[in-house]
Amino acid sequence: MLTLAGVGLCIASAWPHDSPLVPRNGGLLVGNATWAWVYLAGEIAAFAAYLGALLLLRRAAVGLALVAVLAAAIQLAPLGAPLLISSDAWTYWDYGRIAGVHHANPYTQPPRDFSEDPAYPYIGGAYHGTTSVYGPLFTLGSEPVAVAADSSSDAAAWLFKSLAALAMLGTVALAALLARRRAFAAALVGWNPLLALHFAGGGHNDAWMALLVMSALALGASGRRQWAGAAWVAAIFVKWIAVVFLPLRALEARARGRRVGHLGFALAAVVVVAAASAQFGWHWLEAFGPLARNANKETQFALPHRLKELGVPREIALGLFAAAFALAYLWLVRQAWRGRARLGLAAGLLLCASPYLVPWYAVWALPVAATEDDPPAQWLAVAISAYLLRQRVPI
């Protein structure tokens, strides 16, 4: 309940007219910094309660139903806030309108080509001249959402926030289903206030990818291997990062003699590629261009950037972390070859090495770590969440 109260304080701090927590004027976070400090205090208090609850759950049995109800309350509560911290949901709206309203191609025409569109004033300035960086399946899915929102920024924000919140509830449920300690797994994901504030609060599409990855794992565990293959394809075509998990899962399946859904994977890939190409031509492949440029950017909280702040040249800092991740991934490949795909640890180490790190990326690691009986992966994911609490808060 203390976590929920802390989330409530964060929500309340976003409503005053001068709060800097709601993106304005092209995604800028400007206003009275007092409200940002109130938000950060609520966020830290919520996370401290979350961490204490996890430690208690490690030692005591609690009913799954109680954990699930509280998880749902925490994950849904930020729907009562305006759009928080990031204007990404409005960027999805704009790209969706380019395709669904203007019948143009967001992979070849940037938002500035439609500067009269009602979504354009709301997106971040960095996206004005940038074609879509998102996977084609997400773009196809965002079209009807953008059309439904019409010209209303509030409707667009609420729709993407709601979809992200529902995806998080599904992710929590699947984590509990797959885990050996179901209540702990549900709390590990569902009680995390950082995820709640950036998905039900911010509407980020990483929740869609997380749900699809978890669906692939659940379908594979239940023997529906062809559908599992299709879910992997869907996850990858929403956000490419899911590719990191596939080699480890494939090697684990080989070691354990587990059959996999090659046909389902191939058919789903053909269907998605055909649908994307029919709508966007082959230009959707050009998303890798701006995606690669984004990957080369740095955020202040990225660990390579922290190393650069200590005086290490940028190229050396990036190279050291890239080499460290490559070596770690080879070790994880060896673990998978022996029958244990440690997906949560792979995602956590990738986040540590990434030069571009934002709070909502924590969902890459936490749900898969929750399903695995792998305490190092779980606590690394929690530590990353704690580290990212301050990130993007406009103080």
Hunting for tokens 């090659």 — which residue is that?
Answer: 262
Cα 168–169–170 angle (5° rounding)? 90
With 0.85 as the threshold, say if the pTM is over it. Answer: yes
Share of residues in the chain with pLDDT > 90 (%): 84
Hunting for tokens 């569109």 — which residue is that?
Answer: 117
Tokens standing for 195?
A: 């995820």
Q: What is the pLDDT of residue 234?
A: 96
Share of residues in the chain with pLDDT > 70 (%): 98
Mean per-residue pLDDT, 67-89: 96
- As a whole number of angstroms, the distance between CA 329 and CA 345 comes to 10
Return the number of other C-beta atoms located less than 10 Å from residue 211's C-beta.
27
pLDDT (tens digit per residue) in 240-258: 889 999 999 999 999 998 8
Mean per-residue pLDDT, 94-109: 94
Report residue 285's pLDDT band, with 50, 70 and 90 as the boundaries: confident
Report residue 18's pLDDT band, with 50, 70 and 90 as the boundaries: very high
For residue 292, pLDDT over 60 is answered with no
Mean per-residue pLDDT, 75-93: 95
For residue 299, pLDDT over 90 is answered with no
Report residue 212's pLDDT band, with 50, 70 and 90 as the boundaries: very high
Cα 84–196–72 angle (5° rounding)? 135
β-strand partners of 24: 28
Report residue 294's pLDDT band, with 50, 70 and 90 as the boundaries: low
Hunting for tokens 């500035």 — which residue is that?
Answer: 112
Mean per-residue pLDDT, 155-159: 96
Residues whose CB is less than 8 angstroms from the CB of residue 90 and which lie 6 or more positions away in sequence, other chains included: 23, 27, 83, 119, 122, 123, 153, 156, 157
- As a whole number of angstroms, the distance between CA 205 and CA 89 comes to 8
- Note the Cα 207 to chain centre separation in Å: 5
H-helix segments, 60-205: 64-76, 88-100, 136-149, 153-178, 182-190, 193-199
Tokens standing for 186?
A: 């549900």
Mean per-residue pLDDT, 134-144: 94
Mean per-residue pLDDT, 309-332: 94
pLDDT (tens digit per residue) in 25-72: 777 889 899 999 999 999 999 999 999 999 998 888 788 999 999 999
pLDDT (tens digit per residue) in 350-363: 999 999 999 999 99
* Region for residue 267 given its phi and psi (left: phi exceeds 0; alpha: psi -120 to 50; beta: otherwise): alpha
Over the range 93-106, which residues count as b (16 or more CB within 10 Å of their CB) and which as e?
A: bbbbbbbbbeeebb
For residue 231, pLDDT over 90 is answered with yes
Check residue 374 and report its DSSP letter. Answer: -
Tokens standing for 343?
A: 């997906």
Rg (CA), the chain: 20
Q: What is the pLDDT of residue 73?
A: 97
Tokens standing for 229?
A: 């293959």
Report residue 261's pLDDT band, with 50, 70 and 90 as the boundaries: confident
| Cβ pair 7, 77 in contact under 8 A | yes
> Between these two residues, 102 and 58, which has the higher pLDDT value?
102
